[in-house]
Amino acid sequence: MKHFADTAQIFIKAGNGGDGAVTFRREKFIPKGGPDGGNGADGGDVYIRATSKLHTLYDFTHKHKFLAENGEPGRKRKQFGKNGEDLFLEVPVGTIVYRLIKPDEDTEVEEEEVMPPQLEKIADLTKDGQVFLAAKGGVGGRGNDTYKSATNQTPMQYQEGGVGEEYDAVLELKVVADVGLIGLPNAGKSTLLSVITDAKPEIADYPFTTLSPNLGVMKHYDERYVLADLPGLIEGASQGKGLGDEFLRHVERTRVLVHLIDPLYEDPIASYKIIRNELGAYSKKLLEKPELVVLTKKDAQHNDELFDNYSHQLQELGVDRVMNISAVAHDGLEELKLAIVDLISQAPEEVQEESIESSNPVFTIDDLKSF
């Protein structure tokens, strides 16, 4: 099983173009043939392709350098070289690509001043099959045959192949899911995911059992919905406490939130406020997401008065709907699934992100085939 990784820094380089050739036609009975040096070939491009078959950037944590093939040089008899093979890097859906911009070494700065590198967002791959042209290969150089003229019958000129684009890139994965399961540690998120989806997350009776997002697919008639069990948050997570804010980024890509609270081990009202405060501290936009609050472990609650009391208090805080379930006893799960589907139907189709301006295009596989 691969470990989860949601960030990686890599170096990518497109292939260089091949040099043009300097050759002359030399055959029997043609001792002084003209120039026949062919053009060099183009270097291979580097593409980054999103696939739903991957869920982590782990493959990029042990290999960091990715080079496309160089184009071959031109040949005699006006033959072109062979183009360099394109390189395709596959990443999970939800991967953002940044160009790492380092300070100009020629820039004069104070001796004690430190210029940190900057990140420029250049692609956001949110759909399966989406392809981004990350680095363009160099153009092949001209052979001496192209320099022939009336005044220059034996040109020795040729053109070197162009240099392929290269840079350091940072990959960041934000899980794309219909539903984000949130709550304090041990709220029952992993247990719920295991009984309403096909996922098999680790479940244990200690905090922070979930150390990375777990994904599962919930089936409802002919529809399928992706649920993400996000690691438990604690007070101060937005400032790096507990597992820190590194997993809060995954909440951004979920369409709706299901907030789980264990009323037996926590004060539900205080628990709710802690999570909402941490979401808002990370990004106010997270507070705008449709939310369903669910009290867990109904089978261990002694009477309905406990739920009714907490439900009333939560509704006073602005919560539209509070549900009571037991994942272990499978009590209330069908009603919960219906409520989740209803919540999703009212949510925006896609999570809107800031627009990205890039000189390199993003397209689908079908677009690529038409080139």
Does 190 share its domain with 289? yes
Which domain, by its residues, includes 167?
A: 7-173+356-369
Residue 279 counted as domain residue = yes
Residues of each annotated binding site for GTP: 183-190, 208-212, 229-232, 296-299, 326-328
CA–CA distance, 309 with 185 (Å, rounded to integer):
23
Q: Which pLDDT does position 355 carry in this prediction?
A: 42
What pairing do the DSSP bridges indicate for beta strands 322-324 and 291-295? parallel
Does 300 share its domain with 265? yes
Q: What is the CATH number of the domain that holds 308?
A: 3.40.50.300
Does 184 share its domain with 333? yes
Q: What is the DSSP string of 81-103?
A: -PPPPPEEEEEETTEEEEEEEPP
Does 186 share its domain with 334? yes
Residues of each annotated binding site for Mg(2+): 190, 210
Give the count of domains, the chain.
2
Q: Which pLDDT does position 169 carry in this prediction?
A: 97
Burial state string for 209-230 with b = 16 or more CB within 10 A and e = fewer than 16: bbebbbbbebeeeeeebbbbbb
Closest among 289, 283, 285 to 178, alpha carbons compared = 289
Does 281 share its domain with 298? yes
Q: Which pLDDT does position 243 carry in this prediction?
A: 46
Residues of each annotated binding site: 183-190, 208-212, 229-232, 296-299, 326-328
Type of residue found at 334: E
Does 153 share its domain with 257? no
Q: Give the list of residues 6+ apart from residue 85 with CB closer than 8 angstroms, or none.
A: 15, 44, 68, 69
Per-residue pLDDT of the chain (371 residues; tens, 9 = 90+): 455 678 899 999 999 999 999 999 887 777 777 899 999 999 999 999 999 888 889 889 889 999 999 999 999 999 999 999 999 999 999 999 999 987 764 455 555 555 567 999 999 999 999 999 999 999 999 999 999 998 898 899 999 999 999 999 999 988 888 999 998 887 788 889 999 988 775 544 434 334 467 888 899 888 989 898 887 666 654 455 444 456 678 888 899 999 999 888 768 899 899 889 989 988 899 999 999 999 998 887 766 788 888 899 999 999 999 999 998 899 999 999 999 999 999 887 655 454 444 556 555 444 444 44
- Neighbour-count burial of 370, counting CB atoms closer than 10 A to its CB (0-12 exposed, 13-18 middle, 19+ buried): exposed
